[in-house]
Amino acid sequence: DTGVSQDPRHKITKRGQNVTFRCDPISEHNRLYWYRQTLGQGPEFLTYFQNEAQLEKSRLLSDRFSAERPKGSFSTLEIQRTEQGDSAMYLCASSLRSASSTDTQYFGPGTRLTVL
Amino acid sequence: DQQVKQNSPSLRVQEGRISILNCDYTNSMFDYFLWYKKYPAEGPTFLISISSIKDKNEDGRFTVFLNKSAKHLSLHIVPSQPGDSAVYFCAASVLGNTPLVFGKGTRLSVIA
């Protein structure tokens, strides 16, 4: 049973560079979520997809952030012109949403981003 | 404005005793609640959930209690084991169908 996977696990970049993270959800899951977690805080919602459709974006998600899920399977999160404030753990979660089930989300190991 | 609050940043419990972690929420629209456990450098691991139509849900050593009138839920771990030492997050959603809103977490330390 493969869970949610994320790549890379760690990324160190210089301010102003672009970075891209990948998330592979649990195979039969139709929903995919991105969260961000900083020290001492709980995860904060960024955006989510149902299949390939992006259904909601948080106001935390500035114009420098973009996410895609082109074929309803894996997803990418890109941050352009990174800033030091972008340093955080980026978490991906997936779930199977159906008419008869509630949305229990299962998380990947996260990508830790450090912007120097 | 924090909609989900975990007011105890940390909790120390002796091995074999009961651990009780608390969570309060302010949004009366929340109707599905989850607890996650997180080890350092890992993603949150789902532990147990409860729907607002219930007031208790049990899974092995873990029991979650929901008091809707008080907008309060708690996670009981009995008996506590050293491997339970981690940060525990409470999370909530509306209709079990919206992005999760998390508390800030409680760090549980189980002492042998």
The shortest C-alpha distance from B69 to chain A (Å) reads 22
Using DSSP, how many helices (H) and how many strands (E) does chain B show?
Answer: 0, 11
pLDDT tens for A33-68 read 999 999 999 999 999 999 999 999 998 888 999 999
In percent, the amount of chain A with pLDDT more than 90 equals 82
pLDDT for position A1: 55
Which residue of chain B comes nearest to A102, CA vs CA? B96
Q: Answer yes or no: do B41 and A108 touch at CB < 8 A.
A: no
pLDDT tens for B11-39 read 999 999 999 999 999 999 999 999 999 99
The shortest C-alpha distance from A34 to chain B (Å) reads 9
Which residue of chain B comes nearest to A106, CA vs CA? B46
For residue A68, give both structure tokens. Answer: 């895609």
pLDDT tens for B50-82 read 999 999 999 999 999 999 999 999 999 999 999
Residue A102 near chain B (CB below 8 Å) = yes
3-class DSSP string for chain A: CCCCEEECCEEEECCCCCEEEEEECCCCCCEEEEEEECCCCCCEEEEEEECCEEEEECCCCCCCEEEECCCCCCEEEEECCCCHHHCEEEEEEEECCECCECCCCEECCCEEEEEC
pLDDT for position B66: 98
Q: Can you tell me the distance from the alpha carbon of B73 to that of B61, in angstroms, rounded to the nearest whole number?
A: 17
Instruction: Calculate mean pLDDT across residues A63-74.
Output: 93
Mean pLDDT of chain A: 93
Residue A83 near chain B (CB below 8 Å) = no
Q: Answer yes or no: do B49 and A48 touch at CB < 8 A.
A: no
Is residue B100 a contact partner of residue B34, using CB atoms and an 8 Å limit?
yes
**Straight-line distance from the first to the last Cα atom of chain A, in angstroms, rounded to the nearest whole number:** 37
Partners of B102 on chain A (C-beta within 8 Å) are: 42-44
Local structure of residue B67 (DSSP, 8 states): E
